[in-house]
């Protein structure tokens, strides 16, 4: 077997289920928002009150998978990595040749870190403004009007962000495999995340679990 048969552990089962749960709730929020705001679709679907309740419940549930994931040490470690921007990350964002191997890209590249930060921040804003919109007695009308304006624009921005995320996922089957199975090709990892591969722990490379990157070890053959 060649190097193409070597795989590395990238995500644990908990991390993959957090991603799936968040994706399901996010998709529900965006689809119901589209039905509520696009007139022809709203008329075609009907049951506006039911759609609104589904939207609200999915919105309040959206942070739940991420919070439940905190029981996992691997998930918490990855959150720590996502929250740290290095000098190479900022250079990666500014570069047009960001995939030429000249940057020390860790487990997540700067685009993934930025995406995670924007999604997390948007969820907080949307839940907050959505609360003011749904519970009409909390604040005066001018506040609710402002909350509606902010909510609508953040929802649009988040929708575009999610579409971009899906677009990049479709274009990268190795990344999709990593989120689906938890393992990725070592050859792909060395090309896209060389610094992560260099810092892998033995447990991540022999299949006992995913790691954010310390030490070295062995890779497993398929």
Question: In the numeric block, which tokens belong to residue 178?
Answer: 């990593």
Name which of 39-48, 131-140, 141-150 the model is least confident about. 39-48
Grouping H, G, I as helix, E, B as strand and the rest as coil, residue 104 is coil
Q: Which residue has the higher pLDDT, 92 or 125?
A: 125
Residue 211 reports pLDDT greater than 90: no
Residue 212 reports pLDDT greater than 80: no
Grouping H, G, I as helix, E, B as strand and the rest as coil, residue 8 is strand
Per residue in 153-164, pLDDT (tens digit) is 999 999 999 999
Q: Average of pLDDT values for 42-57? A: 90
Q: What pLDDT is stored for residue 218 in this prediction?
A: 40
Tell me the sheet residues that pair with 6: 221
Residue 7 reports pLDDT greater than 70: yes
- With residue 183 as reference, give the H or E element that holds it: strand 183-185
- With residue 1 as reference, give the H or E element that holds it: none
Grouping H, G, I as helix, E, B as strand and the rest as coil, residue 7 is strand
Q: What pLDDT is stored for residue 51 in this prediction?
A: 92
Q: What pLDDT is stored for residue 219 in this prediction?
A: 47
Counting residues of the chain whose pLDDT is more than 70, the rounded percentage is: 86
- Compute the distance between CA of residue 156 and CA of residue 34 in angstroms, rounded to an integer: 10
- In this prediction, residue 85 has a pLDDT band, given cuts at 50, 70 and 90, of confident
- For 8, phi then psi, to 5°, come to -125, 145
Question: In the numeric block, which tokens belong to residue 91?
Answer: 């250079």
- The three-state (H, E, C) secondary structure of 95-108, written as one string: CCCCCCCCCCCCCC
Q: What pLDDT is stored for residue 38 in this prediction?
A: 84
Q: Average of pLDDT values for 205-219? A: 48
Q: Return mean pLDDT, the chain.
A: 85
- With residue 184 as reference, give the H or E element that holds it: strand 183-185
């Amino acid at each position: 077997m060649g190097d193409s048969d070597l795989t590395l552990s990238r995500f644990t089962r908990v991390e993959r289920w957090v991603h799936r749960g968040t994706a399901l709730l996010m998709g529900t929020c965006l689809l119901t928002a589209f039905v509520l705001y696009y007139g022809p679709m709203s008329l075609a679907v009907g049951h506006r009150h039911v759609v609104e309740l589904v939207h609200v419940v999915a919105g309040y549930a959206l942070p739940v998978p991420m919070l439940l994931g905190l029981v996992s040490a691997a998930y918490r470690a990855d959150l720590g990595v996502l929250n740290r921007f290095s000098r190479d990350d900022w250079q990666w964002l500014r570069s047009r040749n960001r995939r030429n191997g000249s940057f020390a890209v860790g487990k997540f590249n700067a685009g993934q870190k930025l995406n995670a930060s924007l999604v997390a921040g948007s969820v907080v804003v949307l839940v907050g403004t959505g609360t003011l919109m749904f519970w009409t007695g909390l604040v005066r009308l001018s506040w609710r009007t402002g909350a509606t304006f902010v909510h609508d624009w953040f929802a649009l921005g988040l929708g575009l962000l999610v579409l971009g995320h899906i677009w990049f996922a479709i274009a990268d089957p190795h990344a999709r495999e990593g989120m689906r199975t938890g393992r990725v090709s070592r050859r792909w990892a060395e090309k896209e995340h060389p610094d992560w591969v260099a810092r892998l722990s033995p447990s991540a490379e022999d299949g006992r679990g995913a790691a954010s990157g310390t030490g070295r070890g062995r890779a497993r053959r398929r």
